[in-house]
Amino acid sequence: MLRCKMLLWQLALRLSYHVVPASLCLGGSDIFVSIRENSPMGQFISNLSIRGEPRDNTIRLCLTGDSADWFYLEGRTIRLNASASRVLDREVLGSVLIAELTCFQDDVIQSRFRIVVEILNENDNRPNFLQETIQPFSISELTAVNSVVFSVKAVDADGDMISYIIDQSSRDADFFRIDLPNSGNLVLNKPLDYESRTELQLILWAQEANTVEKFNTSAVLIVNIEDRDDLYPHFLPCTPVSPGLPVCMNPTYTTNITQRHQDAVLEFSPGPIRAEDGDRGINTPLIYSILSGADQGRFEINNRTGEIRITRAVNDRRRETNFTLSIMVCQEDDRLKYSVALVLVRVLAPNAFPPVFNSSTFKGFIVQSSSPASIVSTYGNQVLLIQATDTDFSNGRNPNIHYSIQPSSGLYQITQGGVLIARTDQLHAFDRHILQVVARDEESGEEASASVDVEVLQRGQAVPDGAFREQQYFGDVDRRLAGGIAASMLLLFLSAVLCLLLRMLKRRRRQRHEHEHDHEHAAVGKHPNVVRTETPSLS
C-alpha cells in the first residue's frame, strides 16, 4: 500500500513534465459484479480488458481502496482473497466491496478503474433471542385470562422473518399461547394459583418463516407467580374439600377435662389449635376469638396464639357435661376474611380406677389362608375381643383407652375396638404365638396388660367349639368314626371287667373247696398241711 502511494507521487511528478501517449493500459472499464457470501478462496471476480499484458515489463497493475485486500490479481484476472479464517461474511462486511485498479506504464499512471462487488446474501445464520426479552419475569396470580403477559423477540442476521412457537412438551405449556405467530406476545391461557404453583417453565422456539432451511433456536422461559391476598385463613390440619382446590374443611378440636381442671391451658386433638393464612406467600397476621360457648368467661382464648385456657373448675356440673365452643380466626388487616371451627370439651369425673382386663389370658384361633389379613376368632368361631374395662365410666368403656401389642409384631395388629388382625398369608399351620396386649388410659397414663394365645389352624380346619370337647382330641376326624372308636373302647372295657369278675368267682369257689377238704383231714386225725399221696379224682 505504501509502495503504491509512492508510485502515485512519482507519476504525478512525471506527468507535470511529460505528456503520455496512448498506451497498453487503455481499453479497460469499471467492473460491477456480484458474488455470494462465504465464497471460497480464489473465487473468480472478473477479467481485465486492458490492451497490454501485466507480464510485459512496461505494464504494472495496482489494487487500492478500503476493500482492496479482499482481491488479488492473477494475470489479467481478479480473484477473491478469502481463507478458512477469513470468510466473506455479508453480515460483517456489508453488502458491497469497493476497490480501485490503477494501471501503470513505465511507472506512469495510464488509467484507473473502479471495482464494485455486491455480496449476495446466503441463509447462514440462525435466529437469536434478545436476552433482555427472555429473562425470568413475574406476574400476579390474579392476572386475567386472555391478557398479554409478556413479549419475546428474536432477530436473524440474514433478515429472515421469524415466527414463535411454544413447545407443547414443556411442563407448563398449557398456561400460555402465542396470539400471532410473528408477534412474540405470550397470552395467559388459564388461571394462575400461587398456592398450587409458584413457578412456571416453558420452552419457546424462534423459527425462520420464509426460508427453506427453517433454521430455529430455543429458549427456556421462567415465570414466577406472585401471591395476592385472595384466600381466607383456615384451621389446621387442612382437609381439602376436593383434590386440587385450595379450600379446607376445618377440623373439630376435642379435649377431656375433669372437675378439678382450672387455670390451665387445654390440649386438644388434633392440636394445637392453629390457623394459617390461605395465601402462604403473604402470611398475614391472624387474630383468634371465641364466638360462642365461653360459658361466661370460663374459657378464654389467646387472640394471637389460639391457646384456650379454662379459668375455673366445673364442680357445679355433672360429669357427662360437654362444652361446645365456636372459635373464629380472621386476618388482622381484613376482618371479613375469616374462618370458623368447633371446639368440644368433655367433662369427665376424676380418674379413680385403672383399666383392667376381664381375663389374664385370651385364647384365639386363626385359620391358615392366602388372604393378606384376617380377624382372629375364639371358641365357637366368635370374633376375639380383647377389651379392658374402666370402673370410672358407668358402662365400663373408657374412650381414652389405646390398645397396642408390645413389642410390636409384624404379624398381628390390634384395633382400638380390641379386634386382633393377623397377616394370614405369612402364618404357618400349627404355629402358636403368645402376644402381650397393653391397654393404656391416654388421659391418666395407667396401663393394664393381658396375654393372647393364638393357635394357627390348618387350612380347612374348624375352630374348636369349646375348651373341653371331643373335637379337641379327634381334630378333623369324622364324628361317626370317633363314635365307633369310642364304642369299641367301651366293649373292650366291659370285656375286661367281665373276665375279672369270672376270675374272682372261680377263686372264691376254689377257696371254699379247699376249706371243706381241710375239715375232712381233721376228722381222721391228720394235720391239715400233710400232702395227700393218692391220686385225686377228676370229678
* Residue spans of alpha helices (H) in 475-530: 479-523
d(CA 90, CA 310): 87
Percentages helix, strand, coil for the chain (3-state, rounded to 5) are 15, 35, 50
Residue 316, phi then psi, degrees to nearest 5:
-95, 15
- The model carries a pTM of 0.48
pLDDT of residue 134: 93
CA torsion 46→49→55→60, rounded to 10°?
A: -90
Q: Are 405 and 364 in contact (CB under 8 A)?
A: no
pLDDT at 487 (0 to 100): 60
pLDDT digits (tens, 9 = 90+) for 321-376: 789 999 999 999 999 999 999 999 988 767 778 899 988 899 999 998 878 888 99
pLDDT score recorded for residue 489: 61
Domains and CATH numbers, the chain: 2-120 (2.60.40.3430), 128-226 (2.60.40.60), 234-348 (2.60.40.60), 356-470 (2.60.40.60)
Q: What's the average pLDDT block by block, 10 residues per block, for the chain (539 residues)?
A: 47 42 75 90 88 74 90 89 88 89 86 90 89 93 93 91 93 92 92 89 93 92 91 89 76 88 90 89 91 93 95 68 92 92 86 87 90 89 91 83 88 91 88 92 85 91 75 43 55 70 72 53 37 36
Q: What is the C-alpha to C-alpha distance for residues 174 and 466, in angstroms, rounded to an integer?
A: 69
Helix (H, G, I), strand (E, B) or coil at 406: coil
Q: Give the separation between CA 519 and CA 101, rounded to whole angstroms.
A: 183
Q: Cell 378333623 identifies what position? A: 476
What are 94's three cell numbers?
Answer: 456489508
Dist. CA 278–CA 295, nearest whole Å: 31
Alpha helices in 215-303 (DSSP H): none
pLDDT of residue 187: 95
Cell readout for 197 is: 404453583
The three state secondary structure string of 83-114 is: ECCECCCHHHHCCEEEEEEEEEECCEEEEEEE
- What is the phi/psi pair of residue 400, to 5°? -95, 0
Q: Quick one: how far is CA 496 from the chain centroid?
A: 80
